[in-house]
């Protein structure tokens, strides 16, 4: 299992109101309305919330438009001079949002207190939602980053102790926010995986070299997919021609080594 990859975390979420798919506002907009109700001024309310007068007024216009009825009534008198107040609908929106927000927080607290690894499963579902054409996907943590002149070598260690070495550009390393202990995926296409006879001292330039046993063969019209189990959980898939599979006398249970170059590894991080 990969419990060492599951961080201790809480559950947070922002509540937003929408009308026909368009966001009416969230906590910041409702806070703005609440401050207008307190001080009777858009200018003062904007300062209290920490936004400019224009930003505050644009937000009010948007909310009035989406709500279909004014939420803020502004008296004449120029910028900041005429005073403003919430309409009955605006006051009702603030009150209802506060009630919904309180219920929302109680709901999050209840979920966070659930037993049975509910949050761990939510994190797992997030991982499973990733879509990629790469047949081999390794989830792990970055244990080492070695910078070079142009590229950086990244070592990812899975929960089963399998190390995967990748070489990526410095720009990619920074863009992905890779640091030691960061969670990441190593992706390798099955066509990039080489099959080597087990027990033979074969030297290759591939940094990623593992030993296992064939757990399954999936022959097709031209190619055969070979699944090699490194342990009870980690399996590496390779694609070879049917001719190669016959020449190597591949069959289930046979010891086999697999290898792939570090340049064939793509590093990805959860969105």
What is the per-residue pLDDT for 49? Answer: 86
Rama region for 148: left / alpha / beta (φ>0; ψ in -120 to 50; rest): beta
**3-class SS of residue 235:** strand
CB atoms within 10 A of CB 147: 10
pLDDT cut 90: percent of the chain above it: 35
Least confident of 65-69, 152-156, 252-256: 65-69
**Which residues in 148-222 belong to E strands, given as ranges?**
151-158, 163-169, 183-188, 194-197, 208-219
pLDDT, average across residues 10-30: 61
- Here the tokens at position 197 are 């006879």
Where residue 153 falls among pLDDT bands split at 50, 70, 90? very high
Residue 191, pLDDT > 90, answer yes
CB atoms within 10 A of CB 21: 5
What is the per-residue pLDDT for 200? Answer: 67
Q: Which residue has the higher pLDDT, 199 or 37?
A: 37
Residue 213 Cα to chain centre, angstroms:
33
pLDDT, average across residues 73-77: 65
What is the per-residue pLDDT for 30? Answer: 85
Look-up of token digits 């009870």: 232
Q: Which residue has the higher pLDDT, 158 or 106?
A: 158
- Here the tokens at position 133 are 């054409």
Instruction: Kindly report the average pLDDT of the chain as a whole number.
Output: 81
Residue 16, pLDDT > 80, answer no
Q: Residue 172 class from Cβ within 10 Å (0-12 exposed, 13-18 middle, 19+ buried)?
A: middle
Residue 137, pLDDT > 50, answer yes
Where residue 9 falls among pLDDT bands split at 50, 70, 90? very low
Q: Residue 174: which H helix or E strand, with range?
A: helix 170-175
Least confident of 33-42, 54-63, 150-159, 217-226: 54-63
pLDDT, average across residues 109-125: 57
Instruction: Report how far residue 158's alpha carbon sits from residue 149's, in angstroms, rounded to the nearest whole number.
Output: 27
Residue 133 Cα to chain centre, angstroms:
17
Rama region for 232: left / alpha / beta (φ>0; ψ in -120 to 50; rest): alpha
Where residue 76 falls among pLDDT bands split at 50, 70, 90? low
pTM recorded for the entire structure: 0.55
Residue 218, pLDDT > 90, answer yes
**3-class SS of residue 56:** helix
Q: Residue 102 class from Cβ within 10 Å (0-12 exposed, 13-18 middle, 19+ buried)?
A: exposed
């Amino acid at each position: 299992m990969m419990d060492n990859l599951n961080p201790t975390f809480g559950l947070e979420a922002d509540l937003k109101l929408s009308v026909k798919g368009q966001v009416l506002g969230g906590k910041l907009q409702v806070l703005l309305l609440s401050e207008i109700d307190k001080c009777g001024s858009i200018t003062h309310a904007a300062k209290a919330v920490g936004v400019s007068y224009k930003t505050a007024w644009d937000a009010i216009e948007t909310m009035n438009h989406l709500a279909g009825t004014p939420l803020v009534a502004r008296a004449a008198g120029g910028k900041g001079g005429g005073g403003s107040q919430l309409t009955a609908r605006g006051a009702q929106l603030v009150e209802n949002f506060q009630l919904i927000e309180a219920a929302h927080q109680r709901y999050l607290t209840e979920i966070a207190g659930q037993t049975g690894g509910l949050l761990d499963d939510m994190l797992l579902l997030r991982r499973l939602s990733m879509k990629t054409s790469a047949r081999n996907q390794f989830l792990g943590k970055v244990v080492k980053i070695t910078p070079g002149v142009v590229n950086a070598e990244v070592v990812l260690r899975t929960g089963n102790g399998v190390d995967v070495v990748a070489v990526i550009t410095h720009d990619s390393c920074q863009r992905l926010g890779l640091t030691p202990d960061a969670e990441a995926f190593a992706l390798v296409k099955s066509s990039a995986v080489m099959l080597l006879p087990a027990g033979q001292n074969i030297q290759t330039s591939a940094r990623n070299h593992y030993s296992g046993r064939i757990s399954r063969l999936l022959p097709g019209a031209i190619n055969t997919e070979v699944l090699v189990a490194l342990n009870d959980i980690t399996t590496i898939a390779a694609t070879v021609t049917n001719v190669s599979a016959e020449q190597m006398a591949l069959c289930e249970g046979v010891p086999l080594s697999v290898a792939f170059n570090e340049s064939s590894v793509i590093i990805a991080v959860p969105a």
